[in-house]
Amino acid sequence: MNTFFSTWSELFQQFFPIFTAPGSEIFLQLITGWVLCTTRRTVTGMIPFADPLGEHAHAAYHRFFPDARWEAARLWQVLALILVRTLCPQGIIILALDDTLFHRSGRKIDGAGYWRDAVRSTKAQIVYAWGLNLVVLTLQVQPPWGGEPLGLPINMRLHRKAGPTLIELATQMINEVRLWFPGRQFRVVGDGFYACLAGKSVGQTTIISRIKRNANLYDLPGQRKRKRRGRPRQRGKKLAKLEKMAAHIQHWKPVIFCQRGETVKRLVYTRIVLWYTVTRTPILLVISRDPAGNEKDDFFFTTDVMMKPAEVLRCYADRWAIEDTFKNTKQYLGGQEPQTWRGRGA
């Protein structure tokens, strides 16, 4: 048991330079209390597990989040450095991006508002709930036991009403992580809402996402004839809508890839196109079809036109790991239970 706590303490000592000396001790005790807590994870609920001998006053724990001297951005940076150094020391860093609603109660919760509840909403009815809208970036790590990858959070932003948009916050986070790991290549996978990141300034980063079924796609412009006047063409012939295009495809390529731990067969069609309203850079369109005909055709894209279609499908399927991270954080780790309401505590 002593060996376990010694290893646990050594792990979190890497965060100590972020805090003052008293703050680092409180931080370690709160983390320990959070893990050991068997009741609701409020600060008051965690104190008996964090400090069973009563070495610090209760107020020291309550003041840690709103008043102590530390920066959340620095905390995320150290966490990201530890995770990447340990679990992804070389190669492409694969990130998943999404936003989620953390339900909170209380009218004075800093940054809270009414947001769409994706869990309770349906196609027929949108349900809104009070809480915090968080944009999260996770590191996708393939565990040694196989199966679905793990989504480990390495950056986060709070989306506020009348503040930066979700896309702006996502761009900020991606560029911030790029600065932490100069020289590394990134792949960012997001659902269709974040497809427009393909047109944002995120160097050294490949974007993988769904593409709208009604997207206006174009062929690449043909070679300009010599001595022809006027502006060079920026786009080629307009293509049919995706569903119509898929209906007329005759030459499909079979691929096999790992989808969340299971081997899956699909028929794919790829084409380099322009999504002119989003980005002036060519993208690789990937149309996926179920050979058995049980599922509808899926439409994806990547900004890396040299990427293999099976890899595109695998990366997007692995995106589901971030949804499991949200579920586990809320249901098993008590992420929505703290009652702090001001500043970083919220």
Is position 28 within any domain?
A: yes
Alpha carbon distance 128, 120 (integer Å): 9
Alpha carbon distance 54, 61 (integer Å): 11
Given a contact cutoff of 8 angstroms between Cβ atoms, the answer to whether 219 and 236 are in contact is yes
* Residue whose C-alpha is closest to residue 174's, from 140, 149, 133, 203: 203
Is position 346 within any domain?
A: no
Q: Would you state the pLDDT for residue 4?
A: 61
- Tens digits of residue pLDDT in 58-102: 888 888 887 778 888 999 999 999 999 999 999 999 999 999 999
* Domain boundary residue, one of 22, 52, 70: 70
Alpha carbon distance 63, 345 (integer Å): 9
**What range does the domain containing 17 cover?**
2-70
Same domain, 315 and 289: yes
- Tens digits of residue pLDDT in 156-200: 999 999 899 999 999 999 999 999 999 999 999 999 999 999 999
Structural domain total, the chain: 3
Q: Which residue has the higher pLDDT, 41 or 218?
A: 218
Amino acid at 90: Q
Same domain, 49 and 86: no
Q: What is the DSSP string of 166-187?
A: HHHHHHHHHHHHHHHSTT--EE
* Domain boundary residue, one of 70, 89, 105: 70
Same domain, 113 and 65: no
Is position 227 within any domain?
A: no
Same domain, 15 and 61: yes
Is position 79 within any domain?
A: yes
Same domain, 125 and 46: no
Same domain, 76 and 198: yes
Same domain, 104 and 141: yes
Alpha carbon distance 36, 52 (integer Å): 12
Is position 91 within any domain?
A: yes
Q: Which residue has the higher pLDDT, 70 or 300?
A: 300
Given a contact cutoff of 8 angstroms between Cβ atoms, the answer to whether 31 and 15 are in contact is no
Alpha carbon distance 193, 135 (integer Å): 12
Q: Is the pTM of this model over 0.85?
A: yes
* Domain boundary residue, one of 39, 70, 101: 70
Q: Which residues contact 118 (CB under 8 A, 6 or more apart)?
A: 100, 101
Mean pLDDT within 208-229:
86
Same domain, 49 and 109: no
Same domain, 215 and 98: no
Is position 334 within any domain?
A: no
Amino acid at 91: G
